[in-house]
Amino acid sequence: MPPTLSTAPSPLDRLKSWVKTITFYELLVGMKATMTHLLRYRPITLQYPHEKRTLPDSYRGMLALLRYDDGTEKCVGCDLCEAACPSRVIRVVSAEVPGEPTKRYSKEYYMDMTRCLFCGLCVDACPVDALGMTREFEWAVYDKRDLQLNKQQLLAIGDRSFPVREKRLELQHRNVAFFNVAFKDLPQKPS
């Protein structure tokens, strides 16, 4: 008759399993990672109002309206940011430039920052890069009506957060400035 393997555990195996049950061996193995992290790493504490942590490059903070280097606003009142906003935070009232019916500007611009998702879809939708996401995050207020921003407040945030401004499109490219006959006060193309 061939030898058969016994399936009953030996008394030594039963003693080992009993000791593991009594000492909560599985919990100790699980806590090993926690204990090594606790003993190896030191906490990083910043004294917040005086020390601020560096934000990642992809951080999206408060929204701002931007200007060109000559102080004119970039927003052309196309309402694409309003259409792209998933939470309907932005409200734009656009108007035509007097005497030039093909040119528009934003007469009024409002943002309700209490409902903003900070998704950046309005910044992506803007064809003239008139909106920007700043790195400002300290906007705690006692009255949430203070977070309903108008055009002047948004321009002030943009001036504070983006001090370096770009030139107008007409002045960036000489060919655009030369061939654009709608602008009468642009410099002539040098010969």
pLDDT tens for 121-154 read 999 999 999 999 999 988 899 999 999 999 999 9
**130, 76 in Cβ contact below 8 A?**
yes
- Mark residue 5 as left, alpha or beta (left: phi above 0; alpha: psi -120 to 50; beta: remaining): beta
Report the pLDDT value the prediction gives residue 181, as an integer from 0 to 100.
54
Could you tell me what percent of the chain has a pLDDT over 90? 45
**169, 71 in Cβ contact below 8 A?**
no
Residue 93: partners with Cβ closer than 8 Å, 6 or more residues away:
77, 106, 107, 108, 109
Q: Supply 48's token pair.
A: 């917040």
What is the rounded distance in angstroms from the CA atom of residue 185 to the CA atom of residue 114?
42
Q: Which whole number is the average pLDDT over 153-170?
A: 88
Could you tell me what percent of the chain has a pLDDT over 70? 85
**147, 112 in Cβ contact below 8 A?**
yes
Greater pLDDT, 49 or 162: 162
Q: Which whole number is the average pLDDT over 58-64?
A: 93
Q: Supply 21's token pair.
A: 């049950």
Report the pLDDT value the prediction gives residue 191, as an integer from 0 to 100.
54
Domain 63-179, CATH: 3.30.70.3270
Q: Which helix (H) or strand (E) holds 111?
A: strand 100-112
Report the pLDDT value the prediction gives residue 41, as an integer from 0 to 100.
79
Greater pLDDT, 126 or 184: 126
**pLDDT per residue over 82-122, tens digit each?**
999 999 999 999 999 888 878 889 999 999 999 999 999 99
Give the residue ranges of the annotated binding site for [4Fe-4S] cluster: 75, 78, 81, 85, 116, 119, 122, 126
Greater pLDDT, 8 or 120: 120
Residue 75: partners with Cβ closer than 8 Å, 6 or more residues away:
65, 92, 105, 106, 109, 128, 130, 131
Give the residue ranges of the annotated binding site: 75, 78, 81, 85, 116, 119, 122, 126
Portions of the chain given CATH number 3.30.70.3270 = 63-179
What is the rounded distance in angstroms from the CA atom of residue 91 to the CA atom of residue 98?
22
